[in-house]
């Protein structure tokens, strides 16, 4: 299986490039580029017999992005994963337990609901621990679940993590079904990745205040409070079963203590030009803080790309008349509030990545295009 970070970087790079294009071409180009660049081994030994065509995948991504509530997005995920697999189920992670939420393609879809999946061994444990998709065989699955819903016609199965704020919020299971072997793991993985990103972005958007003052002197809310207010799509899902001892006692494996911390400059870690004045060239960061800087920069790019994507006419007029900020004030201020809520109290707060990205990408490195009301 390809390295998780390698796949993540490939997907993020491709998505960022595609978002800079036109809306009419977005979904088709996004799917084509991601599928083209994902390593062939991203899902081990995964068959694609009877896989749905590209048009189905395009419609799937579109329907997920069309969801206006978290439940709509999750239902769209399962509906579309079922177009690329025989059976699929989603298990919610709550309090150390994995509880069935909904299923598609089973003889009795209700049999999935409230099923207590054992995450202490096999494929579920591996995915939950490593936070990355894995393919396997039926024997790698909780045998109680297989007995409960029936074994698929082929042994091949796949399980993927649905990540929110770098935590596994749910597990997505898929197999080829009991009558035919229909399991396109690359398409399933793409749909799950798209759903994770969309859920997190829409959740953060809903938290942003309607009216914000980007450069107010008041401090942003504490990181702990922001995390507590994060919209959880499964908040209303309370498992009726009692966790098994093995599942309840699950703890992620500790990181090796012998790993040496690498010290790097802020500018090098964040990829910001030291001459821009955005970062102190002399400052140093741990490997963990450097990773936060990289994630903050990528998140800033995503927010600005979204502004460009849904306001193409305003962007064009704003660049022409040099009043971009006035035309896009609501979107820019909302994005700034979203960015501050996530990174305002982290190591990345020392660099205003969103400001830099607004100038670089939105104003095409000409700050005068933003207008007189944009803070220099």
C-beta separation of 9 from 271 below 8 A = no
Say if CB 51 and CB 158 are below 8 A apart.
Answer: no
273-310 residue pLDDT tens? 433 334 433 346 788 888 899 889 988 988 888 888 88
* Torsion angle, alpha carbons of 168, 165, 101, 11, to 10: -80
Q: How far apart are CA 52 and CA 85, in angstroms?
A: 9
Structure confidence by residue, pLDDT tens digits, 176-210: 998 877 899 999 999 999 898 888 877 776 665 54
Q: Find out whether 284 and 265 touch, Cβ atoms under 8 Å.
A: yes
Confidence of residue 71 (pLDDT cuts 50, 70, 90): confident
How high is the mean pLDDT of the chain?
74
Query: By mean pLDDT, which of 27-31, 79-83, 312-316, 365-369 is the weakest?
Result: 27-31
Query: Phi, psi (5° rounding) for residue 3?
Result: -60, 135
Q: What is the pLDDT of residues 313-346, one digit of tens each?
A: 899 999 999 999 999 999 999 999 999 999 999 9
Is 0.85 topped by the overall pTM? Answer: no
Contacts of 150 (CB under 8 A, 6+ apart): 106, 107, 178
How many residues comprise the chain? 376
- Rounded to the nearest 10°, the torsion over CA 41, 42, 44, 47 is -90
Mean pLDDT computed over 154-159: 93
Residue 94 contacts residue 237 (beta carbons within 8 Å)? yes
How far, CA to CA in Å, does 5 sit from each of 2, 9, 132, 281?
9, 6, 10, 27
Q: Are 94 and 236 in contact (CB under 8 A)?
A: no
Instruction: Please give the average per-residue pLDDT across 34-60, as a whole number.
Output: 56
**Which residues lie below 8 Å from residue 102, measured CB to CB, with a gap of 6+?**
74, 75, 78, 89, 90, 109, 112, 113
In the block, which residue shows the tokens 């997505």? 172
């Amino acid at each position: 299986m390809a390295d998780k970070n390698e796949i993540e970087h490939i997907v993020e790079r491709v998505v960022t490039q595609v978002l800079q294009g036109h809306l009419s071409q977005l979904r088709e180009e996004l799917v084509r580029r991601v599928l083209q660049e994902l390593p062939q081994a991203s899902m081990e030994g995964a068959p694609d017999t009877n896989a749905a065509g590209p048009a189905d995948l395009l419609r799937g991504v579109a329907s997920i992005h069309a969801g206006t509530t978290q439940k709509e997005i999750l239902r769209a995920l399962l509906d579309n994963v079922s177009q690329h697999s025989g059976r699929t189920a989603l298990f919610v992670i709550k309090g150390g337990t994995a509880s069935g939420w909904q299923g598609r393609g089973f003889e009795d879809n209700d049999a999935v609901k409230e099923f207590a999946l054992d995450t202490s061994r096999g494929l579920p444990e591996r995915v939950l621990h490593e936070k990355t998709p894995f393919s396997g065989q039926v024997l790698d699955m909780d045998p109680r679940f297989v007995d409960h819903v029936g074994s698929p016609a082929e042994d091949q199965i796949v399980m993927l993590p649905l990540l929110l704020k770098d935590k596994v919020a749910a597990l997505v299971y898929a197999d080829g079904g009991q009558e035919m072997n229909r399991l396109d793991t690359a398409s399933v993985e793409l749909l799950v990745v798209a759903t994770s990103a969309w859920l997190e972005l829409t959740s953060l958007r809903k938290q942003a205040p309607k009216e914000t003052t980007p450069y107010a002197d008041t401090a942003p809310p504490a990181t702990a409070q922001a995390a507590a207010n994060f919209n959880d799509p499964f908040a209303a899902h309370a498992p009726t079963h009692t966790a098994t001892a093995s599942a309840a006692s699950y703890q992620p494996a500790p990181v090796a203590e012998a790993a040496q911390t690498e010290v790097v400059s802020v500018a090098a870690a964040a990829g910001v030009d030291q001459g821009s004045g955005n970062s102190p060239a002399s400052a140093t960061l741990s490997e963990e803080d450097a990773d936060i800087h990289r994630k903050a920069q990528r998140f800033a790019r995503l927010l600005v790309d979204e502004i460009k994507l849904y306001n193409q006419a305003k962007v064009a007029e704003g660049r022409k008349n040099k009043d971009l900020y006035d035309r896009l004030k609501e979107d820019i201020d909302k994005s700034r509030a979203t960015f501050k809520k996530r990174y305002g109290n982290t190591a990345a707060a020392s660099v205003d990545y969103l400001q830099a990205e607004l100038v670089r990408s939105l104003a095409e490195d000409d700050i005068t295009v933003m207008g007189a009301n944009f803070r220099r």
